[in-house]
Amino acid sequence: MDPSYRVRNSSALPSPALLVYPEKIRNNTALALAIAGNPERLWPHIKTHKTQEITAIQREAGIRKFKCATMAEAEMLARCGVKVVLLAYQPVGPNIPRLVELCQRYAEVSFLVIADDRRIAAELSEQFSRAGGRIEVLLDIDPGMGRTGVAPDEKAVELYLELGKLKGIVAGGLHCFDGHNNQEDPEARMSAARECLAALDLLQDRVQRRGGKVPRRILGGTSTFPCYAKLGNVELSPGTCFLQDWHNLKRYQDLPFQPAALLFARVVSKPASGRVTVDAGCKAIASDPPAERGIVYSDEGFKPLFQSEEHWVFEVQDSQRFKVGDELYILPTHICPTFALHQSVRVVDASGDWVDSWPVLARDREL
Amino acid sequence: MDPSYRVRNSSALPSPALLVYPEKIRNNTALALAIAGNPERLWPHIKTHKTQEITAIQREAGIRKFKCATMAEAEMLARCGVKVVLLAYQPVGPNIPRLVELCQRYAEVSFLVIADDRRIAAELSEQFSRAGGRIEVLLDIDPGMGRTGVAPDEKAVELYLELGKLKGIVAGGLHCFDGHNNQEDPEARMSAARECLAALDLLQDRVQRRGGKVPRRILGGTSTFPCYAKLGNVELSPGTCFLQDWHNLKRYQDLPFQPAALLFARVVSKPASGRVTVDAGCKAIASDPPAERGIVYSDEGFKPLFQSEEHWVFEVQDSQRFKVGDELYILPTHICPTFALHQSVRVVDASGDWVDSWPVLARDREL
C-alpha cells in the first residue's frame, strides 16, 4: 500500500472506521473532468458518497450538475447549494407529492426526474400542474440491462411525444444507464457503448421527425462514461470513480482513478494458528456484489474465510506477525453501499492526520 | 401472507420502509421466555434490532440482562435503563478507554465484556484499575466455529486463572457462541450442543479444581438456545428470534417464531414482459449471507434476477397483474443487518395502521 494512506494519529481512531482522502478525491475529480472535457457534460452520481462535503469538492472543481437516486439525496444536494439536480429514479406512491413539495421548497433549484411509465408520467403531470409548477422529465431508456426503462423502439417514441403534451411536465430528453456494459476490454466496452448510442440516435431521429425535441441525453456510469465522452453529444453520469473501489480498480485498467476511501480495521482475535479475525463485518463493508467484499490493502496474504456482522475471518499464512489490536486498511470491492453503512467518514489530510469527520447525510432516507 | 401484516394506511408510507409489528415481537418474546424457563437465564442479543423501543418490549416481559456487540449498542442499552449489559466483543485500541469511560458514566450499570487475548486482558486490567473501577470479564471460548475465542483446552484454563489474578478485572465465567451449530435437524443440533456443553463442563471442572470460580456461562444463539435451555445450568443469548427472518423460518422448523419485521416496497418499473423491478436494493435489505436476500412475502412467483443499490429485479410469470406503484411486502433473509440499513422502522399496530417510527439508534457507531 502507498504509505500516503496510513493514518499517523490512528491510535485515537476507533475501528471500524471509513477513511476518506480529500486530496485523492480532488485528483479523481480532475481526471473525470479531463475525460469529460467540460464540466457542463458531467453529472456526478452522488449515491456513491451521499455526503455534502464531497459534493463541495466536486463543485469546487467547476461541476454544477448532479445526479442522485433517492429523495433524500436530492434533498441533500438542494440543501448544500446545488442548482441542477437529476433524480434518476422514477417516483411512486407518496414520493410523487414529496417531489412536488421538494421542488416548491427549493424553487431556485432545477430538478429533473426520470420516468418510463405512462401512469407515473400522468401522475407527475397532474400533481405538478395542480401545484402550479412543472418538472423536466427524461424518458428512461433500457439499453438491454433489463432493470428499468423502455426499449428504444416505436413505443418509446410515442411515450416521449406524450410527455411533451402533458401539463406540468417538460420533456427533457433521454436517460440511459448501461450497467451491463462492464467489459474489461476497453475496445469491447467502446463497441457496446457505440451500439447503445446508435440506438439512442435513431430514437432521437424518430422523435424529431415527428416534431419532438430531445434537449439532452444523460448516459453511462463509471465504466462507459469515457466511451460516451469520445462518442459525441451526450452528458455523462459516473459515480464510483470519484472514490474508486477494488471492483473498478481491478476491472478497468484503462481508468486510472485511485482509491480515495479505505476501511480502517483492527485484529480482534486470533482464534487459531493461520487465522486472523478483524473488526470489519458486513455492517461495515458492503456485501454486494456477491463474492469477494474487499481486500486487505495494507498487508499481503489475507484470504477471506467468512464474515459475520461485526467480524471478518481470514486465513493468513504467517499469522504470528499479527497481534490482537493491530491495524489494517481494507479496500472495499464496492464503495457506494459501503459508505451507506457509516454515519460519518473520517477525513485524512495530505500529511496523514485524521482531522475531521463528515456525516454521510443521505444514508438517512429522510433528512 | 397472513393479512395481519398488511398496512391499512400504506398510501402515505414512502418506500422502501422497514415495518415492525410490536404484537408479534411480544409473542416471540413470550415464546423465547417460555423456552428459557426463566427471564434470569435470557440475554437477548440486541444487535438484531439496535432499538430502544424493542429493548423496552423485551424488558416489559421481565428480561433484565442484554447482550450486544458494539460500543454504541452497549451505550444505547445503558441509556435506556438496562442495568446488566454484556459487550460480547473483545475491545481493542481506543475502544478500551471508551469502555472505561462508559462504565464510569453509567456507574449504576453492571457491564460485562469478553476477552480471549492475554494482552487485551492486561490492558483492560491496567486501564480499569487505573480508573479505580473494575469489570467482569468472560473468557471467550471457541467451540469450533473458528471466529473468535480460545479452544477449551489447558491454555484456556491458564488464561482464565490469570484473569482472576488481574486487578480491575473479575473473572466472570465463560462466553461461547456456536454459530456453526446450525443443523436443520433438531436432533443433530441438540447433539452438537451437547458436545459443546460437555467441553465447557470439562473446562469448568479443571478451572475449579485449581481454585478458580466460573460464576456463569453464556451460550448459544437462536439456533441452539433451546438446546442449552434443556441441557443445564447455562444462560442463553438468542437474537434473531425476537424479530424472526426468512433464514431462520425456513431452516428451524422446530422454532415457531413468527416474522415481526417486513420490508415494504413498491414496483418502480416493468422493463420487459415477465419482469418486475422493485425499490428494494442492497441499501435497504441485507446481502449477507450470500445468495437469496429475502422473499416476496405478499405475492407468489417472484424469482430474483439481480439487485442494485436501489433496485431489485424479479422474474414474474404473469407480470401483467402488477403495475408500477403496486405495493409488496418482503421477508428479509437476515433481519439483523437489514435493520442497520434503516434510520428508523415504521411501527404497525395490531389493527394494521402505521402509527409511529422508532429510530434504529445503535446503527450509528457513535451515539
Predicted confidence (pLDDT) per residue in A16-69, tens digit: 999 999 999 999 999 999 999 999 999 999 999 999 999 999 999 999 999 999
Please list, residue by residue across B215-251, b when 16 or more beta carbons sit within 10 angstroms of its beta carbon and e when fewer do: ebbbbbbbbbbbbbbebeebbbbbbbbbbbbbbbbee
CB contact under 8 A, A313 and B13: no
**Nearest-CA distance from A254 to chain B in Å?**
24
CA distance A10 to chain B (A): 9
CB contact under 8 A, B13 and A149: no
Q: Which of B177, B269, B293, B366 would you mutate first to test chain A, the one with the most A CBs within 10 A?
A: B269
Q: Looking at beta carbons, which residues of chain B come within 8 Å of A325? A: 92-93, 119-120
Residue contact A93–B323, C-beta within 8 A: no
State the pLDDT confidence band at B232, using cuts at 50, 70 and 90: confident
- Which residue in chain A is spatially nearest to B282 when comparing CA positions? A288
Topology of domain B3-18+260-360, per CATH? Answer: Lyase, Ornithine Decarboxylase; Chain A, domain 1 (2.40.37)
Element (DSSP H or E) covering residue B154: helix B154-165
Cβ atoms A327, B163 nearer than 8 A: no
Average pLDDT value for residue range A211-216 = 97
Best mutation target, A145, A276, A308, A320, to test chain B (most B CBs within 10 A): A308
CA distance B160 to chain A (A): 16
Q: How many pairs of residues across A and B have Cβ atoms under 8 Å apart?
A: 189
Instruction: Give the three cell numbers for residue B56.
Output: 423496552
Name which of B93, B267, B311 is nearest A14 (Cβ-Cβ). B93
Beta bridge partners of residue B266, listed in sequence order: B327
Which of B342, B57, B333 has its CA nearest to residue A72? B342
Contact A93 B11 (CB under 8 A): yes
Mutate one of B87, B285, B288, B364 to test the A interface: name it (highest A CB count within 10 A). B288
- Side chain identity, residue B213: K
Question: Which residue has 445503558 as its cell numbers?
Answer: B78
Question: Which residues in chain B have Cβ-Cβ distances shorter than 8 Å to A311?
Answer: 147-148
Q: Which residues of B touch A314 (CB under 8 A)?
A: none
> Residue B75: left (phi > 0), alpha (psi -120 to 50), or beta?
alpha
Query: Which residue ranges does chain A devote to CATH 2.40.37.20?
Result: 3-18+260-362
Query: What band does A307 get if pLDDT is binned at 50, 70 and 90?
Result: very high
Q: Give chain B positions within 8 Å (CB) of A336.
A: 309
The C-alpha cell of B302 is what? 417472484
Query: For B311, which of A12, A148, A279 is closest by C-beta distance?
Result: A148
Q: Residue A25: enclosing H or E segment and its boundaries?
A: helix A22-36
Is the pLDDT assigned to residue A232 strictly greater than 90? no
Nearest CA in chain B to A151: B271
Is A137's pLDDT higher than 90?
yes
Nearest to A13 among B94, B266, B275 (CB): B94
Q: Which of B70, B288, B327 sits opposite A282 (nearest CB)?
A: B288
Check residue B93 and give its pLDDT: 98
With cell 476497453, the residue in question is: A186
Half-sphere exposure of A74 (CA within 13 A, CB side): 26
What residue spans in chain B does CATH classification 2.40.37.20 cover? Answer: 3-18+260-360
Fold annotation for A3-18+260-362: Lyase, Ornithine Decarboxylase; Chain A, domain 1 (2.40.37)
Residue of A nearest to B310 (CA): A69
User: For residue B6, is it left (φ>0), alpha (ψ between -120 and 50) or beta?
Assistant: beta
The minimum CA-CA distance between B143 and chain A, rounded to whole Å, is 10
Q: Cβ separation of B286 and A287 shorter than 8 Å?
A: yes
Q: A177 near A221, Cβ under 8 Å?
A: yes
Question: Which of B245, B365, B366, B367 best tests the A interface by mutation, with the highest count of A CBs <10 A?
Answer: B365
Across the interface, which of B95, B310, B341 has its CB nearest the CB of A70?
Answer: B310
Span(s) in chain A for CATH 3.20.20.10: 22-242
Say which of A142, A267, A283 has its CB closest to residue B340: A283
Closest CA relative to residue A240, chosen from A54, A6, A3: A54
Distance from CA of B223 to the nearest CA of A (A): 16
Cross-chain Cβ contact A313/B146 below 8 Å: yes
Distance from CA of A340 to the nearest CA of B (A): 7
CB contact (8 A) between residue A271 and residue B147: yes
B64: distance to nearest CA of chain A, Å? 24
Positions of E strands within chain A: 17-20, 65-68, 84-87, 110-115, 135-141, 169-176, 216-219, 235-236, 261-269, 275-278, 294-296, 302-307, 312-316, 327-332, 344-348, 354-359
pLDDT reading at A78 higher than 90 = yes
A 10 A CB-CB count for A350 gives 11
Residue B87 backbone dihedrals phi, psi, to 5 degrees: -90, 100
Residues of A in contact with B287 (CB under 8 A): 282, 286-288, 290
Q: Which residues does B281 contact at the CB level (< 8 Å), separation at least 6? A: B16, B307, B308, B309, B310, B311, B312
Distance from CA of B315 to the nearest CA of A (A): 11
What is the pLDDT confidence band of residue B86, given thresholds at 50, 70 and 90? Answer: very high
Average pLDDT on B207-225 reads 97
C-alpha cell, B6: 398488511
Helix %, strand %, coil % for chain B, to 5?
35, 25, 40
CATH of A22-242, one of 3.20.20.10, 3.40.630.30, 3.30.930.10, 3.40.50.720: 3.20.20.10
The whole-angstrom separation of Cα B116 and Cα B141 is 7
Give the mean model confidence (pLDDT) for residues B216-223. Answer: 97
* Cβ distance of B271 and A149 shorter than 8 Å: yes
CB contacts of A94 in chain B (<8 Å) are 11-14
Question: What are phi and psi for residue B46, nearest 5 degrees?
Answer: -90, 5
Q: What is the mean pLDDT of residues A307-325?
A: 97
Instruction: Mutation target for A interface from B309, B315, B334: give the one with most A CBs within 10 A.
Output: B309
Nearest to B287 among A120, A288, A306 (CB): A288
- Specify the DSSP element, H or E, that contains A219: strand A216-219
Q: Is the predicted pLDDT of residue A309 greater than 90, yes or no? A: yes
Q: What is the mean pLDDT of chain B?
A: 98
Helices (H) and strands (E) in chain A, counts: 10, 16
Q: CA A111, A117, A119: angle at the middle one, nearest 5?
A: 95
- Asked if B325 and A47 come within 8 Å (Cβ–Cβ), the reply is no
Residues of A with CB below 8 A from B288's CB?
282, 287, 307, 309
